[in-house]
Amino acid sequence: MMFTKILIANRGEIACRVIRTARRMGVKTVAVYSDADRNAQHVKLADQAVHIGGSQVSESYLVGERIIEAAKQTGAEAIHPGYGFLSENPGFVENVEAAGLTFIGPSASSIRAMGLKDAAKRLMEKAGVPVVPGYHGEAQELVVLAGKANEIGYPVLIKARAGGGGKGMRKVDRPEDFREALASAKREAKSSFGDDAVLVEKYVEKPRHIEVQVFGDKHGNVVHLYERDCSLQRRHQKVIEEAPAPGMSDEMRAAMTDAAVKAARAIDYVGAGTIEFIVDGSSGLRPDGFWFMEMNTRLQVEHPVTESVTGLDLVEWQLRVASGERLPRLQDEIEQCGHAFEARIYAEDVPKGFLPATGTLHHLHFPAGSRIDSGVVEGDAISPFYDPMIAKLITGGPDRVSALASLGEALDASRIAGSVTNLAFLRALAAHPGFSEGDVDTGLIARDIDALVREPDTSAEVWAVAALHALGLIGRAPAWSLWQPLAWQVNLVHKGEAEMLTASPEGSGWKVVTPSGPVTLDISRNGDRLELRSAEGLATMTLATWPGHVAVMSDTGTFEFAIPDPLDGDAADAHSGDHVISPMPGLVRHVGAVAGQKVARGEPLIILEAMKMEHSLTAPRDGVIASVGVSTGDQVNEGVVLLELEAAD
């Protein structure tokens, strides 16, 4: 019998996603929330909400006892784990079931079987599923692992045996780099998963990441819902996913989906799962050129592309299977039609190495016609405590060309202000010639990273719009004095640099002298949408404002400007070359410098963990350390001086 009420042990986008399907099915929902999420969208959407602790995940979303107690108190019959957090924790599954509740996912034994990559690969070998050559044993000593790497042959990949998402993963090209890469991988694995054990595998050249969605029920039925290509990655994290995989032949698909179903059957799998394969893309897709990588025993972030090409609701399937029903369809009833893409939109500073960002979303608009899965709305803030995803944008079409064109158009039409985002990067990626042709592999982004992360130029038109807004001249008719044109000046700060701009009447519009050159504009306004007429032709832009700031948005990017108060004095330059400053709130994981130490520009000094990632902070110049203001284990806020160099001569 279908549940009447479920609790969602997660937050953000996936919690909102589960709530929407549950509501359509007539199932009531209970949200849980931390201090930071008190006003989050998933809390507002659910029928009930329960506070479970502090903002740190260790104080809330990872505290299984509180989540289970919240389910019992509210009368929920089952717990949906979403993805991340406790979704692949077998102990949590056992505790849920011991409390008389249903876990909407696989059994604890299935999760354990696939939870450690080394044991999972040994199991897959027995099941007849191809596995990448490598060392999956228990020994973790440097001498053993380095020796195995030599036997396998460089390049190799060090991978945490627990968890996923690229955490605890390092590619090593040379033997002399192995020690440092191993230490870093183990440190990150310990922090992310509480387990620093790793395995070592052969690194596949021109690898593609193709995964198969599987589903099993409690009656012994297992099916696949075809494949997804997730090869566009940076730092081993997916950026754009698609279904089906480009270049996939019927023979290759049959071999890969058969292997995926074998893998699921080997562990009596129930619920939604994903079998991930590493594929040799150096000479096309071949039935003998793919190997099992790992299984994700949960719903995946990229599940919407599978829904788009199959017409199925995977969350609905999860609820039906968990409640004891048979799979809604068997294999010969599942068809794949059309093509779909998903782009992950994040609050992150791409030119600074994809540094996670925070900020209030003062403007958030996506075009009609695209599916948007998001856990935030305009006015919400991106928290420093969790993954900085803003939204997933999903587009589809009858074929790959049309679906990709829709993706590009939707990204161009998306408008976000209040935080830096990866929108410009996604736009460049969607237009990449190799990606357009389907020639994808996991190294594509790294090879063309300079072109892909290049910031769009701030045009004279953009400068002019910002200046005219700051001066209050948009929508105001030009005026002339008796003897000469009036002129206004305004100071704007863009990318940390202050610039003085001058505006004066010119015909029916305004002439503005900008750092990118002079331009004359005639502007009409409809709400936040501007129509610009200039010598270059007609253009449209979007304006977003909040106290002391203005953002000008076009299909090339978002350009934010600070409008200094002329009554304020100049602020001291806190970002001089004498300091290492925390770019965001985070936890100091390692301090590699002491007072009096000589350092070279670019030398790693401090490792800061923030938003589930490690960030290496380096020396801003050659010099000598004057003081170190933090220790390993300290929690720091954004803008804190972590380390100071002696004054330069």
Candidate from 362-376, 484-498, 561-575 with smallest mean pLDDT: 561-575
What is the average per-residue pLDDT within 252-270?
97
Question: 398 is written with which tokens?
Answer: 């009858």
What's the maximum distance between 2 C-alpha atoms anywhere in the chain?
92
Task: Classify the phi-psi angles of 110: left when phi > 0, otherwise alpha if psi is within -120 to 50, otherwise beta.
Answer: alpha
Q: Quick one: what percent of the chain has pLDDT higher than 90?
A: 73
Q: Which residue, 584, 632, 113, is CA-closest to 359?
A: 584
Q: What is the pLDDT of residue 109?
A: 95
577 has pLDDT over 80 = no
117 has pLDDT over 80 = no
Q: What is the pLDDT of residues 289-333, one digit of tens each?
A: 999 989 999 999 999 999 999 999 999 999 999 999 999 999 999
Question: 226 is written with which tokens?
Answer: 């075809």
Distance, in Å, from the CA atom of 405 to the CA atom of 397, rounded to the nearest integer, reads: 9
Task: With beta carbons less than 8 A apart as the criterion, state whether 253 and 227 touch.
Answer: yes
Torsion angles phi and psi, residue 343, rounded to 5:
-115, 130
Which residue carries 């699921």 as its tokens?
264
Q: Which residue, 129, 27, 44, is CA-closest to 78?
A: 27
Distance, in Å, from the CA atom of 88 to the CA atom of 82, rounded to the nearest integer, reads: 10
Task: With beta carbons less than 8 A apart as the criterion, state whether 42 and 12 touch.
Answer: yes
First-residue to last-residue Cα distance in the chain: 77
Residues 6+ apart with CB under 8 A from 71: 7, 30, 78, 79, 96, 99, 101
Q: What is the pLDDT of residue 611?
A: 58
Task: With beta carbons less than 8 A apart as the criterion, state whether 108 and 90 touch.
Answer: yes
Distance, in Å, from the CA atom of 477 to the CA atom of 509, rounded to the nearest integer, reads: 8
CA neighbours closer than 13 Å in the CB half-sphere of residue 298: 25
Q: Which residue, 452, 454, 396, is CA-closest to 426?
A: 452
Q: What is the pLDDT of residue 571?
A: 35
Question: 294 is written with which tokens?
Answer: 């790992």
Q: Which residue, 434, 414, 427, is CA-closest to 453?
A: 427
DSSP SS3 for 525: strand
Candidate from 274-288, 366-380, 580-594 with smallest mean pLDDT: 580-594
Which residue carries 């010119």 as its tokens?
506
Question: Cα separations (Å) of 542 from 415, 526, 528?
Answer: 8, 10, 6
| Residues with active-site annotation | 298
Number of neighbours of residue 253 by Cβ within 10 angstroms = 20
Instruction: Characterize the bridge pairing of strands 537-546 and 389-397.
Output: unpaired
Question: 488 is written with which tokens?
Answer: 């206004």
Rg of the chain on CA atoms, in Å:
27
Which residue carries 């509210």 as its tokens?
74
Distance, in Å, from the CA atom of 315 to the CA atom of 19, rounded to the nearest integer, reads: 10
CA neighbours closer than 13 Å in the CB half-sphere of residue 613: 21
Helices (H) and strands (E) in the chain, counts: 17, 39
Q: What average pLDDT is seen over the chain?
A: 91
Q: What is the pLDDT of residues 20-49, one digit of tens each?
A: 999 999 999 999 999 999 999 999 999 999
- Please report which helix (H) or strand (E) contains residue 15, including its range: helix 12-24
Q: Which residue, 552, 530, 481, 470, is CA-closest to 503?
A: 470
Q: What is the pLDDT of residue 283?
A: 80
Q: What is the pLDDT of residues 594-648, one digit of tens each?
A: 999 999 988 889 988 765 567 788 888 899 999 999 999 888 876 688 999 987 6
Residues 6+ apart with CB under 8 A from 463: 492, 494, 499, 501, 512, 514, 515, 516, 519
Q: What is the pLDDT of residues 210-246, one digit of tens each?
A: 999 999 999 999 999 999 999 999 877 899 999 999 9
pLDDT band at 497 (very low <50, low <70, confident <90, very high): confident
pLDDT band at 479 (very low <50, low <70, confident <90, very high): low
Q: Which residue, 592, 590, 591, 649, is CA-closest to 623?
A: 649
Residues 6+ apart with CB under 8 A from 532: 461, 465, 521, 522, 523, 538, 539, 540, 541
Q: What is the pLDDT of residue 496?
A: 77
Peptide bond into 620 cis (omega under 30): no
Distance, in Å, from the CA atom of 540 to the CA atom of 552, rounded to the nearest integer, reads: 10
Q: What is the pLDDT of residue 620?
A: 85
> Beta strands of 329-370 (E only): which ranges?
339-346, 348-349, 355-356, 359-360, 363-365
| CA 433 centroid distance within chain | 23
